[in-house]
Amino acid sequence: MSARAVRSLVRFAVAIAAALLALPAAAGDGRLLATGGASQIEGAAGGGLVPWAVLSGYGSDGQNGATAFATHVDSGDYALDALGVAVTLRNRVEFSYTRQRFDLGELQHRLSLPVGAFRQDVIGAKVRLGGDLVYTAMPQIAIGVQRKRQLDFDIPRAVGARGDRGTDIYLAVTKLYLAGLSGHHLLVNATLRSTDANQAGLLGFGGDRKSGRSLVLEGSAAVMLNPRWALGVEYRQKPDNLRFAREDDWKDAFVAWFPNKHLSLVGAYADLGSIATLERQRGVYLSLQAAY
Amino acid sequence: MRRAAAIGIVLALALVAGCATRRPDEATPYAQMGGQDGVTAIVDDLLVKISDDARINAKFANANIVRLREKLIEQICAEAGGPCVYTGLGMHEAHAGHGIGAADFNALVEDLIEVMEARRVPIGAQNRLLKRLAPMYGEVVGP
């Protein structure tokens, strides 16, 4: 294991410890199973690719909760790993930290690149503005920010990216329709995001084709087969800022398993389109979340 | 590419909907819970479950269990589409001032789901009953 990987692990362990210490004694599990969603790729509670209006963990109004997750995506030529933690206070506000590592794999080999991976830190915050996923006629609505910093910027700069930092702002609206589809609960989510990120920030922010922000739409739909199993699909629109390579929208189809309120597992097939000139990046997505 | 993606999503949704609709169950939740005997058994199981549930059993410490059982059977029978009329207190009236929080409400919902699963009530009937009970959240949860 390289010194860099060790540092990364240590940082992750420290972040988990800090998250747990930040938790007052009133950690709780007062919300229903699966209502904390999974951890999406940037660390917010959501599906796999899309942040939802739900908040991480199972704490209800008077309780707090924390989660930690690990996600691995193999797109064929690349691999993406994400490790993160989140703390939710009183089912009102969620804070998260995620480290992403995008392994350049085939691209490094083809172009003899000096680095093998792009790393990115994402610090997130989300506030529930109103509504309850399950109980109110109004959907649950939340606003969130993801402050991102790309840590290996030399190559993104060389291919036209403008900056190594960016801030995504999103509004998410999520509702669970009880018995909404042939007697099964149906979850529907729509997220509107303002972003200037290239490939979610892994290739930096802004570009030589477009330097400013784009408003993009993301959506998810999932069916609860029973209280522990869900099947769903997601779609995430993306900007296309860089001239050297086209950027495609992302989509996936997933199966999620919630055996209890402390563990969840998501398996998906993700289609990430063209990334940095390599076409048809698609493959298996796996995500494990522990909740406390 | 985007059109292909949209078509993919629609197909996936159609597939999901198709799987979900394969088993049509038009009977009322009441019938699928086993009629009056089934509802009674579920309420009895639920009361046992509540008394074992350290999260919420203290809230029922002063309840008249005989009356609670009778009213719960009426209410679940009625909400499930059965031939009963609920004659108990309004939900707000029955719960006001008891300091019932979201976590308490959800604990009861979880107990009910577990009881229905143990009794093998079909998922569609479980979910339709939950849909009928969910609006009570606003009247039950409060200071």
> Using one digit for the tens of pLDDT, what is the confidence trace for A182-195?
999 999 999 999 99
Beta strand ranges found along chain A (DSSP E): 38-39, 45-46, 64-74, 79-89, 93-103, 117-130, 140-150, 165-181, 184-195, 214-226, 229-236, 250-260, 263-275, 278-291
Is B7 a member of any domain?
A: no
Average pLDDT value for residue range A75-87: 97
CATH number, domain with residue B68: 1.10.490.10
Name the DSSP class of A182: T
Band of residue B24 on the pLDDT scale cut at 50, 70, 90: very low
Q: Which domain holds residue B65?
A: 28-140
Whether A48 contacts A41, CB under 8 Å: yes
The structure tokens 């490939």 sit at A199
On the question of pLDDT at A245 being above 90, the answer is yes
Mutation for A interface: B15, B23, B32, B127, most A CBs within 10 A: B127
| Chain B residues within 8 A of A189 when measuring between CB atoms | none
Report the candidate in A234, A194, A226 with the shortest Cα–Cα distance to residue A213: A194
A91: its two tokens: 């089912």
Is B89 a member of any domain?
A: yes
| Chain B residues within 8 A of A62 when measuring between CB atoms | 101, 103
Q: Does B12 touch chain A (CB under 8 A)?
A: yes
Give the whole-angstrom CA distance, residue B53 versus residue B60.
Answer: 11
Is B66 a member of any domain?
A: yes
Domains along the sequence of chain A with CATH? 3-291 (2.40.160.40)
- Three-class SS of residue A121? strand
Q: Where are the alpha helices (DSSP H) in chain A?
A: 3-21, 105-111, 154-158
Q: Does A249 touch chain B (CB under 8 A)?
A: yes
Mutation for A interface: B25, B106, B109, B113, most A CBs within 10 A: B106
Is B5 a member of any domain?
A: no
Cα dist from A171 to A163, A195, A260, B87, whole Å: 24, 12, 29, 44
Count of CB atoms within 10 A of residue A147's CB? 15
pLDDT of amino acid B96: 86
Is B102 a member of any domain?
A: yes
Domain count, chain B: 1
More confident residue, B122 or A13: B122
Is B11 a member of any domain?
A: no
Whether A267 contacts A285, CB under 8 Å: yes
Average pLDDT value for residue range B74-97: 94
Handedness of CA A263, A269, A273, A277 (dihedral sign): positive
Average pLDDT value for residue range B13-38: 71
More confident residue, A107 or B34: B34
| Chain A residues within 8 A of B130 when measuring between CB atoms | 178-179
Is B15 a member of any domain?
A: no
pLDDT of amino acid B25: 44
Which of B12, B122, B124 has the CB atom closest to A233's CB atom?
Answer: B12
B6: its two tokens: 């949209």
On the question of pLDDT at B20 being above 60, the answer is no
On the question of pLDDT at B44 being above 90, the answer is yes
Is B14 a member of any domain?
A: no
